[in-house]
Structure 1
């Protein structure tokens, strides 16, 4: 027996050298697939005559499904469809589903089970099941750190619009929580991880009827288009026509990498970059800010909620005029920048202000 064990050990060792790391990956994947159970999706209940028909999408790596009816175990089956004949009219039934697989001789279940409810109706029924949705938009665009409150209710089908629906309330879920999450009230919030893309939010009625809402998550620091160019003064316009790349670099840096700063950058009499309040920044960012200010007579104001690129001029009447392009950090759209502003791109604004020279100088001290 010892000799046989030794031969087997040598064989395994030899095979591991021959196959290499790939063998380890294959075995690991196989084990992982065996123990992973995906939750069934698109679980829906429909009435067909005097029966209730349940359907759902097949899950990967699943041996079977367990259906619970009104909180009690009802059926165990391998197919993805079930007809329940034991129902009574004008009574509400709830069904829950779980998937399972077999690992080491034991059942391993999906993490959670979906639940649907349905009322068995006839022509005299006062309440009916959801057949459509109202007040739901198909698509939204939000910023990084942004959020949006989704609206929507379940209603009977148009043929039964005079009836009341069993429940108008919707439940919400996200196709990719690394992009955005949604709570029970339908508030979608983009995650604070600088990840952009498209996520699908599912609105589900009591009986499993589902509608998709597409949420596009964009980084507004990189505007695709500048609008209302005619409103910008000629003095400030070069910022958005020639220096947008530098500005997007600067605002992204202070929004995500070096947050919560308060300072103003300028160039002093010796030609060096100066700060009203000393903060630590990278050498690359220091160079970017210096090059931008050297290209145009502006200052760069950094605040906890926004960055402003200000051009300051004085008229012969000692009136201080400020033309400014401001970028408000994503998720902080209501922050006060101290000026009236006109949106020229999402979270980007043109600002204009007038001051007496004395008042302006006093403010700068």
Structure 2
């Protein structure tokens, strides 16, 4: 096992289904050289039984980048982790926090918090299979299993399995009665429970996730835990990544237009291999959030990116009136 540099986990962008694909990660890397990026969740069954190794595709510019796996069968997860490590991922993360019905039916995600011993077996099998760090992303509780003692036991089991990095979404998950979207919004945030976990398990690197939307909040959390994982805020207002990057690492703030222009060669290469512009441009829509002309930029891309022949020229057109408005 390679030694883990805990500083590598100070800032990260959460794995988000249908959002953090390879195009999104390439874009986010331009905004934040240091942030640790995560794939969407990939099921171990898709890799091992479905042989869908195309799901592991990523560019070298994305590093450091982690593969998030979903599954509950230790040996299958071990094989999937090996595929991920062989593909060049810097970390393998096990999803123990997703509350969707599809995930529950596959017996993985947040329902696994009820079975810490099984999760420990999965982690151990994965750690035995790869040299890169194996981490876990969980919730603070699930359904009626909502006492701090439950999270404490889960954490103790993870440490016994060799986990050194635990990412904790500071909300519990309701597996019945709430949609995945509602599970990201309705259960109240309990940051203090995550802070307490860090105080009681100082040897464990704790990364906090959930409802974090400003540079000031990031800095306040870092006074209590080892790292902050940004989710929806980083997606809908991606320039937040640049602001946090500047505050934490002293990086100069890039101009939004320059970030977009750095996407040109990537976009043109992707279009040449048959990728539709809409699959890339959808991740760019929030770049000018709160800036003059932002609405027109979003509208032009949203209305034009799906049309036949749409290419870099559309993005140039979308930028032009925004510059006039500024």
TM-score range, shorter chain: under 0.3
TM-score normalised by the chain length of structure 2: 0.21
Greater relative contact order, per chain length (Cα 8 Å cut-off, separation 6+): 2
TM-score normalised by the chain length of structure 1: 0.19
Higher share in helix: 2
Higher Cα radius of gyration: 1
